[in-house]
């Protein structure tokens, strides 16, 4: 199960832990992902998406249909 948002395409990034002595060790920054079910009334179906918190806010603001249309246009969603 990869840590990639289905809507925005956010994925894990790499960086450094930096100690007080300025020693650096590699680490990962994971996106804040949630597995959510959304109802699409036009198709009378439920879909399950793995979305980041930013994508959830966008869905709440614009609606699931508009967000899916934009993601499909950008090539983020294949269906």
Find the CATH number of the domain harbouring 30: 2.30.170.40
- pLDDT tens for residues 21-78? 999 999 999 999 999 999 999 999 999 999 999 999 999 999 999 999 999 888 877 6
Residue 36, token pair as written in the block? 């959510």
Could you give the number of structural domains in the chain? 1
Q: Is residue 7 part of a domain?
A: no
- Is 69 domain-assigned? yes
Please report how the helices 64-74 and 53-62 are oriented relative to each other, as an axis angle in degrees rounded to 10: 120
- Distance (Å, whole) CA 29 – CA 69: 28
Query: What is the pLDDT at residue 68?
Result: 92
Task: Provide the pLDDT for residue 67.
Answer: 93
Q: pTM for the full model?
A: 0.81
Residue 2, domain member (yes or no): no
The pair phi, psi for residue 52, each rounded to 5°, is -85, 170
**DSSP helix/strand/coil, 30:** coil
| pLDDT given for residue 2 in this prediction | 85
Domain around 52: 13-74
DSSP helix/strand/coil, 12: coil
- The pLDDT, as a whole number, for residue 45 is 95
Question: Mean pLDDT across the stretch 8-33?
Answer: 96
Q: What are phi and psi of 37, to 5 degrees?
A: -105, 135
Q: Does residue 58 sit within a domain?
A: yes
């Amino acid at each position: 199960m990869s840590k990639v948002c289905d809507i925005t395409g956010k994925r894990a990034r790499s960086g450094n832990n930096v100690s007080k002595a300025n020693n650096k060790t590699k680490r990962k920054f994971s996106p804040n992902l949630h597995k959510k079910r959304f109802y699409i009334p036009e198709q009378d179906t439920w879909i399950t998406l793995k979305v980041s918190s930013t994508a959830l806010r966008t869905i709440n603001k614009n609606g699931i249909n508009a967000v899916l249309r934009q993601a499909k246009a950008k090539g983020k969603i294949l269906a």
